[in-house]
Structure 1
């Protein structure tokens, strides 16, 4: 796996010192953690995306959910329409800063076995998504 590079990097940027801000995707849709699984899946379908950044009532990122995860929850025998995104976030609270180096971000994603990592500002607001390509 290698990191997806969304913009050309300057020739002077060393891979060790390059930060995630230059290669992250736009954050895309952000939804509140009290949203139901069904509504979140509908938002994904309408936005033509496979992931959503989940925020709390103050707009701070609390996690990230994928279409695959939400579909699995919806299709489980324990599912009810009362299940909210905050109920299923689990260990999805990993974030990174826009000044994190690429090497640090890649190490964090690999060690946590996460293919995506939300990028947040100093106030916890989502700025973008960093993704590993396969």
Structure 2
């Protein structure tokens, strides 16, 4: 696997430790955690997005949902049209999994691969989404 966003470094440049901030993509579409799965799927289709960042009532990032994950929830025998994103968002609740922007890339890559995650939100010290770090497949 390789990172979605790469950056060329000149041969004569001094080596520096890259961070998540250097490689993350924009945050993209963000939605509230009280949105239903069906509405979120419609938002994804309209935005042509593969994931949505989920926020709580205070605007803090609580997790990330993917198209594949929401389709799995929708196709489940336990599915009802009342299921909210707060019930299915990866990382819902305090503590993550999230990445601080100054996390070294080597650490972030290890975390993404070890937990078999395709993407993780990058958040500031207040829990606000700055972007998304994603692995390409």
Q: CA-atom RMSD, angstroms?
A: 1.6
Aligned pair in 2 of structure 1 residues 34, 102: CA closer, same or farther (>3 Å)? same
Cα distance in 1, alignment partners of residues 35 and 14 from structure 2 = 41
Q: How do residues 1-134 of structure 1 correspond to structure 2 at under 5 angstroms?
A: 1-6=1-6, 8-11=7-10, 12=13, 14=15, 17-89=17-89, 91=91, 93-134=96-137
Cα distance in 2, alignment partners of residues 48 and 90 from structure 1 = 20
Aligned pair in 2 of structure 1 residues 13, 130: CA closer, same or farther (>3 Å)? farther
If the length of structure 1 is used for normalisation, what is the TM-score?
0.90
If the length of structure 2 is used for normalisation, what is the TM-score?
0.88
Cα distance in 2, alignment partners of residues 122 and 67 from structure 1 = 28
Instruction: Give 5+ residue unaligned stretches, structure 1.
Output: none
* Over 2 Å off, 4+ runs: 8-15, 89-93
Q: Secondary structure at the match of 2:44?
A: helix
Instruction: Give 5+ residue unaligned stretches, structure 2.
Output: none
